[in-house]
Amino acid sequence: MTSTKDAVTARGEWVRQANRFTQRVAAEAGRYRLIVSLACPWAHRAVIVRRLLGLEDAISLGVVDPIRDERGWRFTLDPDGRDPVTGIEFLSEAYLATDPDFAGRFTVPALIDTTSGLVATNDFPQISLDLSTEWTRFHRAGAPQLYPEALRAEIDEVNDGVHRDVNQGVYQCGFARSQVAYEEAFDRLFTRLDLLSERLSDRRYLVGDTITEADVRLFTTLVRFDAVYHGHFKCNRNKLTELPVLWAYARDLFQTPGFGDTVDFDHIKRHYYVTHPDINPNGIVPKGPDLSGWHSEHGRAALGGRPFGDGTPPPNVTG
């Protein structure tokens, strides 16, 4: 069996499963379908990058139901409960067709090769980078440089700390199986958030003066913070709304085309609160928080910078 399941160490630390399909994908318009959950922060990265770069016509998008059952992600949002392009009812069908011995979680995002129905890659960190670097001939006119070569070393360094302590950190808090493991993850998370607040106190974006991959990766955790991580995952030293710099930074991005218009709070809340019965056994989905603050003035433009550099915002498109 090809097992890459999540694990828990002897100290009660949660360890995310490794990505199973990590081969690189050659860019070919119309061949691949990006399967995502709008609830998942890892998938959300790819949704944002695809939108910012204008790759909608080159890579189609399939969205799964936010409620995942024991069989994995379901296409129950589509007519007849099947993905209209691949014809599958569950993402697991593509995984098991690619590797019949696969025994891990069937994760999103996944790029499906529509010519074979097989998983081309589920390597979420590489997917968004490849959209920026390998799919350039399919980018829209005016697409931003999200991973500019001159800034890659700094972007990678920032991403490393954000991934370890924030993107992963909220899960390590939520899925910890001992008090010590939880508290260590909690301390790493808020230490990193404090460092990010300091970094962003006098600059609009994490690296350089435009939006980059680093901002995309931090945003997808921040936008879920008060809705799910603060309560559901016990990340409760502060709410995002109580961290002035990060709250303003997150609102700035949310109000930028390609960010807030890809957020679905309904999917986010229903997924987390319904699919983790060990954390929330009654499956009750909170009514809050109040989301109106996301549209309030943030004042970050005074720090300078241009969201898209010499490029332009993505047009108002769907799909």
Catalytic residue of the set 32, 95, 147, 171: 171
CA distances from 253 to 10, 117, 258, 286 (A): 39, 35, 9, 25
Catalytic residue of the set 32, 40, 147, 273: 40
171 is catalytic: yes
Helix, strand, coil shares of the chain, percent, nearest 5, are 45, 10, 50
Q: What are phi and psi of 52, to 5 degrees?
A: -60, -40
> 């697409």: which residue's tokens?
143
The candidate with the shortest Cα–Cα distance to 279, out of 170, 176, 166, 186, is 176
173 is catalytic: no
Tell me the three state secondary structure of residue 251.
helix
Q: Distance (Å, rounded) from C-alpha 78 to C-alpha 76?
A: 5
Q: Distance (Å, rounded) from C-alpha 219 to C-alpha 213?
A: 10
Residue 269 near residue 291, CB atoms below 8 Å: no
- The CA angle 265-267-268, to the nearest 5 degrees, is 60
Structural tokens at position 68: 């995942």
Cβ-Cβ contacts under 8 Å for 319 (sequence gap 6 or more): 56, 60, 61
Q: Distance (Å, rounded) from C-alpha 231 to C-alpha 237?
A: 10
Catalytic residue numbers, as ranges: 40, 171
